[in-house]
Copies of this chain bind each other. A is one copy, B any other.
Amino acid sequence: MARRVAVVAGGHSKFGKRFDATVRELSAEAFKPIVDEGITQDKIDASILSYAASQFSGQGAGSALIADYIGLQNRPHMRVESACTTGTASLRAAWGMVAAGLYDVMLVLGVEQMNRVSSAMATEYMSQAGDMRWEYPFGISFPAFYALMASRYMSEYGMTHDTLAKIAVKSHHYGAQNPKAHLPKEITFEEANNAVAICSPLNLYDCSLITDGAAAVVIASEDRVKEFTDRPMWIKGIGAGASEMMIQDRASLTSIPGAKYAANAAYKMAGVEPKDIKMAQVHDCFTIAELIAYEDLGFAEPGKGPELVENKENYHDGRIPVNCDGGLKSKGHPLGATGVSMTYEVMKQMRGEAENSSRQIDDVDLGLVHNVGQSGQFVNVFIFERGW
């Protein structure tokens, strides 16, 4: 009924502490490769800006500013915000408008600049995504939410921190091979296991980064795709879910209910199963979040995620390669850019264009993106199919 929609191009800024660039310049850096490929401004009907937290820059209503700066000032635009899932929520909204025929070609551009404020202030702003009446005033911030999940997982399934350390080692192994990564360095198992505590049982290397950066993708309707590429990545499945606002209202802390709901919806729409997926970008805001994602997405049975880690099935040459770009942990986590960056990475892997052969995954015909906001209140899962 609706038109099929494909990702036809993408761009990505360097992630890091980008004191050399403002939000508008980061956005332009991600958009430039798209223009360089020939998808010039006149070919784009409308845009969505994925920008999570205006507090960081003080700039309100950012989509007008960014659209103006990159040369789309006379085309419709809007901003979408869904905490850390802002990028994939933007893609979901854009998909709808293209699939339904309102626009043929849309730009989804995600950006965040988080390092112009102190890291304490950045943590403060992120904490404000918790319940400002019943959570924030009692001092809980995001490392604490995920520390509760990690503690509970350890208690229920007997996991030790070794498992989480191994996830961190993998992330940094792949981040070190990604020229766009914020912290492109290998770490040892000992370093990952013995780093300074952030919120027990999570330590420094269990936590993702406070990053500046931008990423962009262009989507097009089926009848326009050929103008832009002979390598379209079709949006085959979309699932979205949500969970209770307050973590204490949840029946379990070893799974995110909205993530299971979103994954099931995406698999159903795509007509595929977890075993068909050749690679996944999952939301590793903390190492425990990546572990739980394996299970919520059906790559491992409940409680069996640690076995997947132990057997290195999550490496680029394993059964289900996960975050072979370094993930939020080593590549970085500029909130609004993250979901778009995940989508970009699936496109690059599908095209065989990962920058380094030792992180390139073989023959990706189906890729999955799993993007989680807050402590699971927002979840988007996308399944992409190679179109050539």
Contacts and interface: CB of A to CB of B under 8 A. Distances in A.
A78 B80 contact: yes
Given A54-B54, A60-B53, A128-B59, A242 B75 contact: yes
Given A93-B96, A100-B96, A73 B243 contact: yes
Among A61, A101, A380: residue with most chain B CB under 10 A: A61
A240 B76 contact: yes
Interface in A70-126: 72-83, 85, 89, 92-93, 95-102, 125-126
Contact of A78 (B22, B54, B92, B131): B92
B93 A378 contact: no
Among A2, A55, A258, A380: residue with most chain B CB under 10 A: A2
B96 A242 contact: no
A57 interface: yes
B60 A83 contact: yes
A58 interface: yes
A245 interface: yes
B79 A81 contact: yes
A377 B61 contact: yes
B93 A78 contact: yes
A4 to B, nearest CB: 10
A60 B128 contact: yes
B83 A61 contact: yes
Interface residues of A, number: 68
Contact of A242 (B69, B77, B238): B77
A124 B61 CA distance: 14
Interface in A43-76: 46, 52-55, 57-61, 63-65, 67-69, 72-76
Contacts of A52: 61
Given A74-B261, A78-B92, A101 B58 contact: no
A96 B89 contact: no
Contacts of A97: 92-93, 95-96
16 contacts: A1-B1, A1-B100, A54-B54, A57-B132, A60-B83, A60-B129, A77-B242, A77-B378, A78-B80, A78-B92, A79-B82, A80-B80, A80-B81, A81-B81, A96-B97, A100-B100
- A-B pairs, 5 with minimum CB distance: A96-B96, A76-B240, A68-B245, A64-B377, A99-B100
Interface of A: 1-3, 22, 46, 52-55, 57-61, 63-65, 67-69, 72-83, 85, 89, 92-93, 95-102, 125-126, 128-129, 131-133, 238, 240-246, 257-258, 261-262, 373-374, 377-378, 380
